[in-house]
Amino acid sequence: MAKAIKKKDDTAMVSTERPEWMEDDSMRGQEGVGVDDLTIPRLGVIQDLSPQRKKTAPEYIEGADSGMLFNTVTGRLYGTEVMFVPVYYRKEWVIWKSVNAGGGFNGAFPTEAGARAEFSEKEMEGQLDDKGNDLYEINDTGQQFGLVLNDDGSVEDIVMSMSKSKRKVDRQFNTMIKMAGRDRFSRVYKISAVEDQNAAGQDYFNFGVAPLGFVNEDTFLYAEKMYEAISSGAKDVNRDSESAAAADSAEY
**Res 250: pLDDT:** 38
pLDDT above 70 (res 30): no
pTM for the whole structure: 0.78
Judged by average pLDDT, the poorest of 8-12, 36-40, 73-77 is 8-12
**Residue 247 pLDDT exceeds 50:** no
Banded model confidence at residue 249, pLDDT cuts 50, 70, 90: very low
Determine which of 88-97, 131-140, 238-247 has the lowest per-residue pLDDT on average. Answer: 238-247
Q: Across the strands, what pairs with 140?
A: 93
pLDDT attached to residue 62 = 93
pLDDT digits (tens, 9 = 90+) for 182-193: 999 999 999 999
Phi, psi for 157 (deg, rounded to 5): -70, 140
Q: What is the mean pLDDT of residues 99-112?
A: 75
Q: What is the pLDDT of residues 34-56, one digit of tens each?
A: 545 557 889 999 998 888 999 99
Pair 60, 97: CB distance under 8 Å? no
Beta bridge partners of 94: 108, 139
What integer pLDDT is reported at residue 1 of this predicted model?
Answer: 47
Q: What is the rounded average pLDDT of the residues 73-81?
A: 93
What ranges do the domains of the chain cover? 47-91+142-250
Positive/negative CA dihedral, 88, 94, 149, 67: positive
What is the chain's mean pLDDT, rounded?
81
Cα dihedral value 121, 141, 149, 221, nearest 10: 80
Q: Contact at 8 Å (CB) between 167 and 94?
A: no
